[in-house]
Amino acid sequence: SQQGEEDPQALSIQEGENATMNCSYKTSINNLQWYRQNSGRGLVHLILIRSNEREKHSGRLRVTLDTSKKSSSLLITASRAADTASYFCATDGQGAQKLVFGQGTRLTINP
């Protein structure tokens, strides 16, 4: 059963602009994570936000979590060509050891 759904499926912006991706999920969670995947490679963990947190920052990344709406957003500020990748949100069920990933947002940064 799919837990996370990302929106949009694809996003293309100019270098220097901000990129926002959204994730919705269905059941209660302990935390929500965002991962990045460069083309043909494995996933790399970016940031984790716990269910009792509303916002978290890491460098140019800003993640928000709204548990009442069961949604999260990932903002990448001042985008760079190297940010071109697919971005996935992943959620865990409370007490579960496994994560459920969404289908991802493919982000393209145009120079």
Partner 1 sequence: DVKVTQSSRYLVKRTGEKVFLECVQDMDHENMFWYRQDPGLGLRLIYFSYDVKMKEKGDIPEGYSVSREKKERFSLILESASTNQTSMYLCASRTTDRGTDTQYFGPGTRLTVL
Q: Catalog residues that contact partner 1 under the rule CB under 8 A.
A: 1-2, 30-31, 33, 35, 40-45, 48, 88, 90, 92, 97-104
Q: How far is the CB of 94 from partner 1 (least distance, A)?
A: 12
Helix (H) / strand (E) containing 99: strand 99-101
Q: Which CB atom, from 74 or from 100, has the smaller least distance to partner 1?
A: 100
Q: How far is the CB of 15 from partner 1 (least distance, A)?
A: 26
Q: How far is the CB of 7 from partner 1 (least distance, A)?
A: 13
Residue 98's alpha-carbon distances to 20, 22, 26, 39, 52, in angstroms, are 26, 21, 16, 24, 20
Task: Retrieve residue 46's tokens.
Answer: 């970016």
